[in-house]
A and B are shown apart, each in its own frame.
Chain A
């Protein structure tokens, strides 16, 4: 019940294409859903996050779509660029508790020039 399932494990996209990464959760106590981007040799950094009271959030080329009834959320990267090549982690958090982050398994994205 504490797991967050993420897919795909790896993704190759052409420059200018759309990258889509999906996550699913079980625990309805989760109320904050961030996406993290990690480059080799660096710690994860927050990319974008959403709360379940909205179905979509957009920041530049990055969009989170959230489906509360299905307990799923996804990251869309529009006009993907080679600089977006990184590993992406979704996470789920219950902000009423200890703020313990449950991370997905990660998606290694490669954008071809």
Chain B
């Protein structure tokens, strides 16, 4: 299995600012995924991050708003830029390990 540490676990941020979320995995993995989960909703994939290449973004998500870094096979960051209240959500890091998806505990972001 893969154990994922994600931080911060929660934050309250002012609109117009940026927040960087960190994701650390205890194993080397090829692909890491970032999801958004709005209150009471399902998981929506933001982007797939492979080490050594640009992240691949899903429809509706752009790099300027959600820049992602993937410096090595165990670590990734997601930045939520120029935040607005609509960005209030839970952000989840995930990895695929032998088909199964493992998730971090999530970052609950509130933008005020």
Contact = CB atoms under 8 A, between A and B. Distances in A.
B106 A105 contact: no
Interface of A: 32, 34, 36, 41-46, 49, 89, 91, 93, 95, 98-101, 103-106, 108
B19 to A, nearest CB: 18
Nearest to A49: B100
Given A42-B106, A98-B48, A99-B96, A106 B101 contact: no
A101 B92 CA distance: 13
Contact of A34 (B31, B40, B100): B100
Given A101-B45, A104-B42, A105-B41, A46 B100 contact: yes
Interface string B71-94: 000000000000000000000101
Nearest to B93: A43
Contacts, number: 54
Contact of B101 (A34, A98, A105): A34
Contacts of B43: 44, 89, 101, 103
B41 A100 contact: no
B103 interface: yes
A95 B41 CA distance: 25
A76 to B, nearest CB: 21
A95 B45 contact: no
B42 A103 contact: yes
A105 B99 contact: no
Contacts of B100: 34, 46, 49
Contacts of A41: 105-106, 108
